[in-house]
Amino acid sequence: MGIIETQIFKVDYQNPNPKDIAIAAQIIKDGGLVAFPTETVYGLGADATNPNASKEIYRAKGRPGDNPLIVHIDSMDMLWKVADQRDYRAERLADRFWGGPLTIILKKSELIPKETTGGLDTVAVRMPGRIVAQRLISAAGVPIAAPSANISGRPSPTMAKHVIEDFTGRIQGIIDDGPSPIGLESTIVDLSESETRILRPGYITLQDVEDTLDERVYIGYGNVSTERPKAPGMKYKHYAPKGELVLVKGDISNVVRTINELLDIAKGKREAVISCDENISKYNTKNKYSLGSMFSEDIMRNLYRTLRLLDEDRVDIAYCETFYNLKHSEAIMERLKRASSKIIEV
């Protein structure tokens, strides 16, 4: 593969320049790749109806071919073009959560080739809320397949800078409209069977989905090491920094004491602590990162950015607090477990 010239479009997140959107949309229509912002993370976009364009996504990311892509749409009309399963659950969830951080899985239509769905006969669909994403899909006039815009295995990008790091010279365009407000990937809900299942936790919680559907919702992702997941992507180690990440779980005073002891032992390595505003001052090291306040959405928003900072700062081993009992604990802890090599319970 030769080096590709990557155009960077810096746009206003509320009012992007239509000329920039038109150029980016043309790249997509021509079968090329454009990374673009969504409210969750940045996506690496291509025409979802074009098998060769989807193949290009796998090549650029280094992604295994059995790991299907999410198809991004701009309207309910487009939903019924990509999905061949009229389902009241889809209508209700779309009504309540779209555009927003929710992906649903339905039987796919003929319009979507198997190259886009990793060989499956179902399709994952999401209508993003981010204005720039909506404008891009509308201007392209086709559904846009987009996985998170990171090289396979790395933390997902929450800033254009992360995409630029991973993809300059490998894709035709990158749209930059600032940081992603949510910072973790969308919740995935499988509607392709009669039981409703969450395949990946996210900003929209199981409770949110149950309340909306007024029925029992099941969990379809499992223990990281023993699972046989339904979302093929969930079987891979993910989001991991290059160094080691160790989670320390328990009563906060025990966690602080244990981490401070471990910091002493690990001399010679470049070590760090990941904590939150409420606890950060308790650690005896200069190398510490706060994810923000435990009582806000900062923990979720800053997680991937912080994991990438560990790489930039060449941290060999990072000790991280755990975050249970928050509204978004399920999503946060699922990512932290996948990014880490072990959990110490104290």
Residues lying near Mg ion in the complex (CB under 5 A)? 148
Residue number with the smallest Cβ distance to ligand TXA? 233
Q: In the numeric block, which tokens belong to residue 36?
A: 């673009």
Q: Residue 143 or 147: which CB sits closer to Mg ion?
A: 147
**Least distance to ligand TXA, CB of residue 159, Å:** 14
34 Cβ contact list (under 8 Å, min separation 6): 24, 27, 28, 45, 46, 136, 171, 172, 173, 174, 175
Q: Which does 146 bind (CB under 5 to 8 A by kind): Mg ion, ligand TXA, none?
A: ligand TXA
User: Measured from the CB of residue 339, what is the shortest distance to ligand TXA in angstroms?
Assistant: 14
Residue nearest to Mg ion (CB): 148
Cβ proximity to ligand TXA: between 18 and 119 the closer is: 119
Residue nearer to ligand TXA on the CB measure, 231 or 276: 231
- What are the φ/ψ torsions at residue 314 (nearest 5 degrees)? 55, 45
Among residues 147 and 243, whose Cβ is nearest to ligand TXA? Answer: 147
The residues binding ligand TXA (CB under 6 A) are 38, 40-41, 43, 67-70, 103, 105, 117, 120, 122-124, 126, 146-148, 185-186, 188, 199-200, 230-234
Cβ at position 294, least distance to ligand TXA in Å: 23
Collapsed DSSP state (helix, strand, coil) of residue 249:
strand
Closest separation in Å from C-beta 187 to ligand TXA: 8
Residue (7 or 152) nearer to ligand TXA, CB: 152
Q: Which is nearer to Mg ion, 167 or 319 (CB)?
A: 167
Helices H / strands E in the chain, number of each: 10, 16
CA nearest 216: which of 89, 32, 120?
89
**Burial (0-12, 13-18, 19+ Cβ within 10 Å), 345:** exposed
Give me the phi and psi of 309, to 5 degrees please: -60, -35
Q: How far apart are CA 254 and CA 10, in angstroms?
A: 46
Least separation in angstroms between CB 198 and ligand TXA: 11
Q: How far is the CB of 325 from ligand TXA (least distance, A)?
A: 24
CB of 198 closer than 8 Å to CB of 188? yes
